[in-house]
Amino acid sequence: DGGITQSPKYLFRKEGQNVTLSCEQNLNHDAMYWYRQDPGQGLRLIYYSQIVNDFQKGDIAEGYSVSREKKESFPLTVTSAQKNPTAFYLCASSIDDWSSYNSPLHFGNGTRLTVT
């Protein structure tokens, strides 16, 4: 079955360390996204990529970095510059036809990052 896989499900890191979250999809979607969710908050867009080797900052990109070397993969690095990294991180993908307004997102099962 096609889908999006995030790993690991839970991640614990010490403050000051960079950490990379994995996201792989086999849906053949062009577009991929990273969101962050904090308790009681809506999802906030960190970075998105509409095509291989290209990505754009979202609303809260500071302290994060991404790469898109392959269509299937969109890893997110949480750097030590991110002030409040503890959160639930969600990767998503969509068909994202530029002419389409109806491209719902398909989410991975998330990575819960705790930094102490």
Footprint on this chain of other proteins (rule: CB under 8 A): 31, 33, 40-43, 45, 48, 50, 56, 58, 88, 90, 92, 94, 96, 98-110, 112
Single-letter amino acid, residue 6: Q
11 DSSP β-pair partners? 113
Burial class (CB in 10 A: 0-12, 13-18, 19+), 87: buried
Cα angle, residue 82 at apex, residues 79 and 85 outer, rounded to 5°:
95
Q: How far is the CB of 112 from other proteins (least distance, A)?
A: 8
Minimal distance in Å, beta carbon 16 to other proteins? 27
Minimum CB separation of residue 43 from other proteins in Å reads 4
- Is the CB of 80 or the CB of 96 nearer to other proteins? 96
